[in-house]
Chain A
Amino acid sequence: MRYFDWRGVLDRLARLWRSSLQARTVAITVLLSGIAVLIIGSYMSYSVGANLFDARRGQLESTSATATLAGQRVFDTAAEQVGTEDVDVTMRDAAVAISNAASSGGNTGFAILRTPGQEGPVTPTPILSLGADEFISDELRDAVRDSSDPRTHSQSVALTASDDTVHPGLVVGSVLSIRDSQYELYLIYDLVDAQETLDVVQRTLLLGGLALIVLIGAVTWVVVRLVVGPVRLAAQTSEKLAAGQLEVRIPVKGDDVIATLARSFNGMADSLQSQITRLAALSQVQQRFVSDVSHELRTPLTTIRLAGDVLYDQRETFPPTTARTAELLHTQVERFELLLADLLEMSRYDAGAVDMETEPTNLVRLVEDAIESVGSLAESKGSQLRLVAPGGYFEADVDSRRIRRILQNLLGNAIDHGEGKPIVVWVDSDQTAVAIAVRDYGVGMTAAAMDRVFDRFWRADPSRQRVTGGTGLGLAISLEDAALHGGWLEVWSAEGQGSCFRLTLPRVRGAALAGSPLGLPPDDEPPVDAPNDVPGGVRHA
């Protein structure tokens, strides 16, 4: 069975309607002009038909009047010549005379009927041509009978011709007076010739209207094409421009509004191109600068570092002042090195010159390693590190170097601000995401501090002594690292209750995050000494 895909056709049409301004314009124009042509055509057809009918009826009525007179004369003459003549013969004579008089109008039948309700003999007998009586309605007879003047009356009827086609017809009635009795004469005319004329006119109107609509459609199509063409070209060109082909332009022809559009578009493209080229050059300079600084600064720093370390290793043989100097040199060079590394990493992010090297990584193991690496530091501050990992044992696609860096940062901060209280690390996962939360129960932060905690070189409390010797860029870099993974790094904190940083990462690289498997802070039993109430958190990234 062949199946016609209506839905497909409708969909295609709907798409064409939405996508093609040209098709839409042509369709609307054709529709509206079609309605106009229909109205005008109908009116013209109606008025031509009415006029044609009126003229024909006038003509036929006058023909009928003549025929009536001819018939009346036959009866009058017969009455004068003989007394009691054969009225039926007279009747036939009259019928012939009437037929002759009326034949010019396309007469097809007639009837001479006696008006009912009269006294006296029913002579002559009414005569009528075959089937004529079925066209003579009672209303017409009433109208003819009641009129006192000799005017004719007419009525439209539908005639069935010999070939079974229906023709419009007209019955015209008038009054005859035969031997003091009132008779009615009805003449039936076929109006097929008028109908044919009307048909020709209507056909001409229809064809003319259709031709007009097609013409209007074609003209609209051409005109719209003239206007839409340049717009379409502009659209294509801007798409190419957006795709990065900065050198494309629209050809400018003439001096009209389209040319103005093309010129201003080209002007826009020019400035866009120069801006982008300038920015690209700037970015390249920036990147090269970063790379140069990286090399130029690192080589002397290496020498200083080596020299400082050699001195530091021999500090016991120096006098106390020199020994302390060597110590200071050693620690500060180390700090400078960290700062330089963070600065370079940050500027790499700013230049957009970072790439991820993801590999399937077991995050719980990664967290265990990170906790182990800060174990001695935590011990020195008296903080106990605890891992709670209900999930996260699968392998997630992450850049383990960056995640480890984030963890070390968060753990370092937690130890710094944890006031020796326990620190809990949660790891959990769901179908799409894995989350790591680092919770301390230390000093915490104000809401204002929470808003700024990811800012570069911002410190919660400048007077606070740092153990981990952070550079002030740690959280800013962590935030960038998380964003690079398409993940979130969020913070919750309350003064006196501690802080919680939650890292949420998609399990598959490039997947979008819908939510985090862990609460912020994770609603779990807090260790001893920890407060229970939890105000709302702030989300970053």
Chain B
Amino acid sequence: MNARILVVDDDTALAEMIGIVLRTEGFEPFFCEDGAAAVAAFHSAKPDLVLLDLMLPGMDGIEVCARIREESGVPIIMLTAKSDTADVVKGLESGADDYVVKPFNPKELVARVRTRLRPTPETPTDSLQIGDLVLDVAGHEVKRGDERINLTPLEFELLLALALKPQQVFTREMLLEQVWGYHYKADTRLVNVHVQRLRAKVEEDPDNPRIVMTVRGVGYRAGSIT
């Protein structure tokens, strides 16, 4: 079955062009031109991934992103005209998994979409431990004791990457390559923001992390199993 992709962009020409590109790559695109209608479109289309323009009429792209994130962990990729403004960070903080800067080329867009839709990498075991958490790889579940913690697929993958190699210190660049699929220098803010979001969910005290540890000047590593 083809993956369903919801394209939320007020520029119909661009939306149509993105649709053509996606269709040639074997995806099934759906369209929405208005921010206010985006959440309803999300409900009706039930997409596997959302491409979301940040500047939208009706409702701000960041707001739309936050609304979708409230009810679903579906991957969201932002389309933005500005790469180095606070908008990008705001978008990531409101739950977007990744972003593409306009003007982008088709390969770039498709690569981003494919990375976010790829299946979770094969793991030798079904269950992993990190700190006081248990990861059920097959079930895409994280539990602290009996309490289930809701993570988006990206957050799960980030945690899984750390848990698979508990001895390894991951630089931001390594995480960008493993989790986001960037093979060249990319924006390390992606890692910073998502580690923050992940910590807010899994840490008992996000200011004093025990699961995702910071290694100063290098990056992150998994907290020891307790």
Contact = CB atoms under 8 A, between A and B. Distances in A.
Interface of A: 291, 294-295, 298-307, 309-310, 313, 337, 359-360, 369, 395, 404
Interface string B187-226: 0100000000000000000000000000001000000000
Nearest to A370: B185
A301 B18 CA distance: 13
Nearest to B86: A355
Give the interface size bracket for B toward A: 20 to 34
Contacts of B20: 306, 310
B24 A302 contact: no
B17 A303 contact: yes
A299 B16 CA distance: 12
Given A302-B103, A305-B105, A306-B18, 11 more contacts: A291-B82, A294-B81, A295-B81, A300-B13, A300-B14, A301-B103, A302-B14, A302-B102, A303-B13, A306-B104, A395-B217
Contacts of A404: 185
B128 interface: no
Contacts of A295: 55, 81-82
17 contacts: A291-B82, A294-B81, A294-B82, A299-B81, A299-B102, A302-B103, A305-B103, A305-B104, A306-B14, A306-B17, A306-B21, A306-B109, A309-B107, A310-B20, A310-B106, A313-B106, A404-B185
Contacts of B107: 309
B11 interface: yes
A369 B184 CA distance: 10
Contacts of B102: 298-299, 301-302
A397 to B, nearest CB: 12
- Residue of B18, B106, B107, B109 with highest tally of chain A CB at under 10 A: B106
For the complex of A and B, 8 pairs with smallest distance between CB atoms = A302-B103, A298-B102, A295-B81, A298-B81, A302-B102, A306-B17, A301-B103, A303-B14
Interface in B9-37: 11, 13-14, 17-18, 20-21, 24
Interface string B30-60: 0000000000000000000000000100000
Nearest to B13: A303
Nearest to A348: B84
A291 B217 CA distance: 34
Given A302-B14, A303-B11, A369-B185, A309 B82 contact: no
Given A295-B81, A360-B217, A309 B13 contact: no
B81 A306 contact: no
Contacts of A360: 217
A310 B103 CA distance: 14
A307 B15 CA distance: 12
A295 B61 CA distance: 14
Contacts of B103: 298, 301-302, 304-305, 337
Nearest to B55: A295
Contact of A302 (B55, B104, B185, B217): B104
Contacts of B14: 299-300, 302-303, 306
Nearest to B216: A360
Given A294-B82, A306-B106, A310-B21, A299 B11 contact: yes
Contacts of A309: 105-107
Contacts of A395: 217
A462 B20 CA distance: 40
Contact of A307 (B11, B17, B81, B82): B17
Interface in B146-202: 185, 188
A291 B20 CA distance: 28
Contacts of B105: 305-306, 309
A22 to B, nearest CB: 51
- Residue of A291, A299, A369 with highest tally of chain B CB at under 10 A: A299
A287 to B, nearest CB: 11
Interface string B99-120: 0001111110100000000000
Nearest to B188: A359
B61 to A, nearest CB: 12
Nearest to B109: A306
A1 to B, nearest CB: 52
A395 B188 CA distance: 17
Interface in B71-87: 81-82
A104 B104 CA distance: 127
A320 B128 CA distance: 57
Nearest to A345: B84
- Residue of B11, B103, B106, B109 with highest tally of chain A CB at under 10 A: B103
Contacts of B109: 306
Nearest to B15: A303
A108 B54 CA distance: 119
A294 B83 CA distance: 10
A306 B105 CA distance: 6
Nearest to B107: A309
Interface in B87-138: 102-107, 109
B99 to A, nearest CB: 14
A452 to B, nearest CB: 29
A408 B88 CA distance: 25
Contacts of A299: 11, 14, 81, 102
A313 B103 CA distance: 18
Nearest to A359: B188
Nearest to B21: A306
A441 B81 CA distance: 40
- Residue of B102, B107, B185, B217 with highest tally of chain A CB at under 10 A: B102
Contacts of B104: 302, 305-306
A313 B107 CA distance: 10
Nearest to B9: A299
A348 to B, nearest CB: 9
B212 to A, nearest CB: 19
B185 A310 contact: no
Nearest to A308: B105
A390 B11 CA distance: 53
Contacts of A313: 106
A313 B24 CA distance: 11
A331 to B, nearest CB: 12
B60 to A, nearest CB: 14
A404 B103 CA distance: 21
A223 to B, nearest CB: 58
A294 B18 CA distance: 20
A310 B217 contact: no
A46 B206 CA distance: 93
Contacts of B13: 300, 303
Contacts of A306: 14, 17-18, 20-21, 104-106, 109
B86 to A, nearest CB: 10
A300 to B, nearest CB: 7
